[in-house]
Amino acid sequence: MNADREYLAAGLALGTLADAEMIEALDLEAADPDFAEEVQSFCETLGLLAGSDDAVAPSAETEAAILSIPRLHQQAAPERTAPEHAAEPVAPTAAGASAPVTSPGAGAGPGPEKTRRPTTMLFALAASTLLLLSAVLAGALINQQHDTTQIQESLTVAEAERERTQRLLSASDLAFTEAEATGGGRVTLAYSVSEQMLHLTPHDMPELPADQTMQLWLIDEEGPHSAGLMTGTSTELLTDLAMDEDMIFGVTVEPAGGSEEPTSDPVVLADL
The torsion defined by the Cα of 162, 165, 167 and 169, in degrees rounded to 10, comes to -130
Q: Say if CB 198 and CB 249 are below 8 A apart.
A: yes
Burial 220-238 (b: 16+ CB within 10 A, else e): eeeebebbeebebeeebeb
What global pTM score does this model have?
Answer: 0.44
Collapse the DSSP code of 229 into the 3-class scheme (helix H, G, I; strand E, B; otherwise coil) and give the result: strand
Phi, psi of 14 (to 5 degrees): -85, -20
How far is it, in rounded angstroms, from Cα 258 to Cα 272?
A: 23
3-state secondary structure of 70: helix
∠ CA 76-131-30, rounded to 5°: 50
Contact 173, 192 (CB under 8 A): yes
d(CA 13, CA 17): 9
Q: At 140, phi and psi to the nearest 5?
A: -65, -40
Nearest to 125 by CA among 240, 4, 11, 38: 11
Length of the chain (residues): 272
Tell me if 258 sits within 8 A of 212, measured CB to CB.
Answer: no
Q: What is the pLDDT along the chain (272 residues), one digit of tens a residue?
A: 566 777 787 777 777 777 788 888 888 888 888 888 888 877 777 666 555 555 455 556 555 555 555 555 555 545 544 444 444 444 444 444 444 444 444 444 444 444 444 555 555 556 656 666 666 666 666 766 667 777 777 777 777 777 888 888 888 999 999 999 998 899 999 999 999 999 999 999 888 999 999 999 999 989 999 999 988 888 888 888 888 888 999 999 999 999 999 999 999 999 98
DSSP state of 205: P
